[in-house]
Each structure stands twice: as C-alpha cells, then as structure tokens.
C-alpha cells in the first residue's frame, strides 16, 4: 500500500557529506512515521533515525548523533537523511522504512524501499 523509493547514495570520501532522499506514496503515509535503516554486508540491519510524518518529531541512534539529521517534507511526501562527517563505518545500504511508531525495530516496519548504497572511502 505504501511505496518507498530511496535515492542519493553514492561514493563519498571520509569526512564528507551526503543527503539521502526517500519518496513515499500511498494513502496511509500521513499517519506513518518514517525511518532510515542501514545494513552493511554480513551485519544486521540497524536503525539510524526516525521522524514522525505528522508532527516532525525526530530520533537518531547514538552512533550517529551529531552527524545525522532527518527531516520530513510533508508536502512532497519525502524524508531526507542528511549525513555529515561520514566515516568508513557508515558504509552500508541505506533503507527507508515506514511504520506507525518510531520505537519499533526493523521487524515492526511494514514497508521498505529497495535501498540506496553509501560507500565511504578512507
């Protein structure tokens, strides 16, 4: 019912910045929260940040605090992940996901995009 399409990934040098976008469509988007996850090869998928589509409240994981900003353009049904001071450990496929509550883990998210890869070189 909800379709998510990520974009903006690519190759960036350590210390650089990148902005990812997630375009959402579907009738239930307005009542969902949107989150960014990432998964490196051979590792578990981890949540990066989450934002409420309705009120704009945001949350970011401790591992990216101070380096990541999530924002929600409700008019465009688009969520952004602005990443700064990137580290090689940030290399992963980044996924956009939607659910009803930011507190849920990956298993609780109902909709996922296909992901956009981010590679941070050292």
The one-digit pLDDT tens for each residue of the chain (122 residues) are 789 999 999 999 999 999 999 999 886 666 788 999 999 999 999 999 999 866 778 889 988 889 999 998 878 889 999 999 999 999 999 999 999 888 888 999 999 999 999 999 99
CB neighbour burial string for 70-96, b if at least 16 within 10 angstroms, e if fewer: bebeeeebbbbbebeebeeebbbbbbb
CA pair distance 119, 122, nearest whole angstrom: 10
**What helix, strand, coil percent values describe the chain, rounded to 5?**
10, 50, 35
pLDDT at position 53: 66
* φ and ψ at residue 18, rounded to 5 degrees: -155, 145
pLDDT at position 52: 80
pLDDT at position 57: 81
pLDDT at position 29: 60
User: Cβ contacts of residue 40 below 8 Å, gap of 6+?
Assistant: 91, 92, 93
CA pair distance 50, 94, nearest whole angstrom: 13
pLDDT at position 101: 86
CA pair distance 71, 121, nearest whole angstrom: 25
């Amino acid at each position: 019912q909800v379709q998510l399409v990520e974009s903006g990934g690519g190759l960036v040098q350590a210390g650089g910045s990148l902005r990812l976008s997630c375009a959402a469509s579907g009738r239930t988007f307005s009542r969902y929260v949107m989150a960014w996850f990432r998964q490196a090869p051979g590792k578990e998928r981890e949540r990066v940040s989450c934002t409420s589509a309705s009120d704009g409240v945001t949350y970011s994981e401790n591992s990216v605090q101070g380096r990541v900003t999530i924002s929600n353009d409700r008019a465009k049904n688009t969520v952004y992940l602005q990443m700064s001071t990137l580290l090689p450990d940030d290399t992963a496929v980044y996924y956009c996901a939607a659910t009803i509550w930011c507190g849920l883990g990956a298993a609780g998210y109902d909709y996922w995009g296909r992901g956009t890869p981010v590679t941070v070189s050292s």
